[in-house]
Chain A
Amino acid sequence: MVMIVSGFMAALLLVIFGAHAEASTATRRLGRRTLGLCLALAAYAAASALESMRGMMPAMSLAADVLRLAGAASFASLSLGFPADRQAPVARAWIWGAWFAAAALLGMLRLGAGIGAAPLRTAAGLASALAVLAASIAIILFPDRALDRDERPRAAVFGMSGAVAALAAGIAAFLPPAFAGPVALASWVLLGVAGHYAATTDHVIGPYEALRLLLVGAAWTLSVGLPVGLGAWWIGRILPEPSWTRFAALGALFLAATAPAEFARRRFFSALRGGRRYMKRLEEDLAAIDLDSGRESVLDALEQALGEAMRFRDFAVLYENDGELDALRCPGGAKPRIDRRDPALEHLVNLGTTMVSRRRAGDNRNYAIVRTRLLEIFDLLQADVLVIAREGREVVGVFGLGRKLGGADWGRYDFESLARIYGKLFVFAYYLRNAARAWVIQTVDREIALSDQVIRSVQQNVDRIEHPKADAAFVTRSTRRLGGDFIDFVKVSEDRWFFVVGDVAGKGLNASMSMVILKSTIRNILKTEKNFTRLVAKTNAFVKKSLPRGSFFAGVFGYLDFAAGNLYFINCGIPVMYLNAPGFASFVEVQGDGKVLGFVRDIAPHLKTRRIALAPGSTLAIATDGILEATNLRGERFGKERLQRALAEFHSYEASKGVDLAVKAAYDFGDGDVEDDVTLFILRTKA
């Protein structure tokens, strides 16, 4: 027991010692090798101790073999970087899988199950062997899934198999004396947790992370492994002889333990595993940043908000400036400059990547062809995570987030959080780019100019409809505050345009950010999703899952096909869609029923794709609700009828003049005071 504890304590001390190793790759590698050696020694110490207990506990013999293999695997994986850095994740997954498989095979042979006639020595040992066999099969069969799952794929796999191992160890602990089992179990779990974490990170484990994971292991031991072990001990008392009945009873106990284990995981461990939760506070802090306070203040506030939440060391920001990415802020006062067409950034854009960690850049095969350059950029910005703010294929800015304080890892929660605030970071990148342009500051009203400039830049960045058979124009006005209206056109072919017109519900900057995020997201979805209905369904899922609570989108998605003279559209709550075709007496509503996006999780059953023939001479008008809600001093709304009349009145004008006059009519009606954003799009088809 002393050897087990001392071996483990030695490992822990070296883990903590390693955390203070500084950031250079060589030092970290040395730290990892030290840790690997330490784990191997600890495993051998534990194995020796367990072996000495074989007289009392036959199952400990199996445990000793497993620990020896674990030590060897840890050492090989961590110390030697087996077999080469690029293939390290795959190799490690296989070596761990092989370890489990070997342990299982060894257990089978030792127990006699593999050679038929020999009796079972202990049913508990077989249960352990089956458990590790199941884990090994899972890992060997699904290495790709494990590797691509998230930023810490092996952590996910071993998190699951760790639970299995804890239960198996609990079963193995049923033999007397009463204290030996729990101690052995604790060693298993703690060693396993430390080893698994060490194997899943490029960083040396930080004290906070090490402590947190040790607590998780201890909690598992106390709440799941130990009760199961005691249960198994009790079964051993009432069924003393090895038998299939005893095996079945232990199996039932094992299965029954999964329910409280799942309960414990949900109620207690998720918080422990995930560490500090900061998302809500971070969103509030970002929303509170005043864009009118000046570029440096905005940068300071942004760095402070992100730094306090995610606790990283260095912060770098690059912004687009005449085709280059210039540093606004960089550790050490450096002023690196990167070509916006840098092959590494281009590659990230091609992959649709918005954020990437140094770790992923180093070992994911998707980045293999630009790995060297990408890692240079990480070094240049002293960053562990890069966030690429881009609209379509245009990189607007790059944020570099440095190493975490205390040597902690960038974990899954961090990346989920970054994904959630990505749109806000995008807006800040847009702001910083525009704020850096002096003419904006000098010539536009300070009160809302910068924010408005951000929004306008996004709103105006569309593939305008320029086709011999079409005369199209639109107006988007955000009144007093930043708005959530947006309109977007994407040219699909010479004769076809995809478009979205709508309004993202919300208030002020948040609505604007949501609008920017959504516009960018729809363009990204459009690149890969060719099915119209699925595109809208995916957009709905994004609004529901990723935009702030209470956000929804009311608008319309459409495809214009000028060659065939058709409009295909899905109404998602657009309030106004009028058509005046040859033979019509006036503008008539054509939008039909529609459901807003972001309310239900699955919108697909509610979606209807409609088609309208756009004969030459037709006029299509689409508007968001702002124009209808213009209200005069008597409290009367501009409404649909007045809009219909205005459209009819200006029907003979060109589209560009028609939209201006119709919007002016609404503003005149509301005495210039229109509460909501106004968007109006008019399309006239020509022969």
Chain B
Amino acid sequence: MDQLNISEKVTDRGAILVVEGPVNSYTFTEFQTKVYAWSKKADLVIDMAAVTSLSSAGLGVLMAAIDDANDAGRKLWILKPSEIVRMAIESTGFADSFAVIGALREAF
């Protein structure tokens, strides 16, 4: 899958972004725009089960979004990260700071 697809769902308890495909140099901007847009204004779940790659820039977006959410008193969860995402998160050394969940009900 070369295309990045990000679908948005808004519930009364927060927003859900379902990310599918690669987050790389070509697709990073769309990922950044949508994550930043939601991280401050609602509790956010990012479903990354179908992410096939995550560049360092994409990982930086996640880190900045966590910061934004914390500053705004919001929560940000990462739902079922794919192996590649999980490895990227662990590579930061701050895996504990990423709220990783296995099911949506753990968030909402």
Contact = CB atoms under 8 A, between A and B. Distances in A.
Interface of A: 481, 484, 503, 505-508, 511, 549-552, 554, 573, 575, 593-596, 598-600, 606, 625, 675-676
Main secondary structure of the interface of B (DSSP, over half): helix
B57 A595 contact: no
Contacts of B92: 552, 554, 573, 595-596, 599
B97 interface: yes
A200 to B, nearest CB: 33
A19 B9 CA distance: 55
B57 A511 contact: yes
Contacts of B94: 595-596, 599-600
Contacts of A606: 93
Nearest to A635: B52
Interface string B83-103: 000000001111001000000
A507 B67 CA distance: 20
B57 A593 contact: no
Q: Which 6 A-B pairs have the closest CB atoms?
A: A550-B60, A595-B93, A505-B56, A550-B64, A505-B60, A507-B57
Contact of B24 (A554, A625, A675): A675
Contacts of B93: 573, 593-596, 606
Contacts, number: 63
Given A507-B28, A625-B91, A675-B53, 12 more contacts: A481-B25, A506-B57, A507-B57, A550-B61, A573-B92, A594-B93, A595-B92, A598-B63, A599-B67, A675-B24, A676-B55, A676-B56
Nearest to A626: B56
A599 B32 CA distance: 17
B59 interface: yes
15 contacts: A481-B25, A505-B56, A506-B56, A507-B25, A508-B25, A549-B64, A550-B63, A550-B64, A595-B93, A596-B91, A599-B67, A599-B92, A599-B94, A625-B56, A676-B55
B60 A551 contact: yes
Nearest to B60: A550
Nearest to A624: B56
B91 A550 contact: no
A658 B95 CA distance: 34
A130 B67 CA distance: 43
Interface residues of B, number: 20
A550 B29 CA distance: 12
Nearest to B97: A599
B3 to A, nearest CB: 16
Nearest to A571: B93
Contacts of A549: 64
A675 to B, nearest CB: 6
B25 A506 contact: no
Contacts of B67: 599
B56 A575 contact: no
Nearest to A595: B93
A507 B26 CA distance: 9
Nearest to B28: A507
Nearest to A480: B25
A508 to B, nearest CB: 7
Interface in B32-81: 32, 53, 55-57, 59-61, 63-64, 67
Contacts of A676: 55-56
A606 B97 CA distance: 13
A507 B92 CA distance: 18
B25 A505 contact: no
A575 B91 contact: yes
B65 to A, nearest CB: 8
Contacts of A508: 25
Contacts of A484: 56
A547 B67 CA distance: 15
Nearest to A575: B91
B86 to A, nearest CB: 14
Contact of A550 (B25, B32, B53, B97): B32
Given A507-B28, A508-B25, A552 B91 contact: no
Contacts of A625: 56, 91
A447 to B, nearest CB: 16
Contacts of A573: 91-93
A687 to B, nearest CB: 36
A303 B55 CA distance: 33
Interface in B10-28: 24-25, 28
Given A594-B93, A595-B92, A676-B55, A552 B25 contact: no
Contacts of A599: 63, 67, 92, 94, 97
A635 to B, nearest CB: 8
Contacts of A481: 25
Interface centre among B24, B32, B59 (most CB of A within 10 A): B59
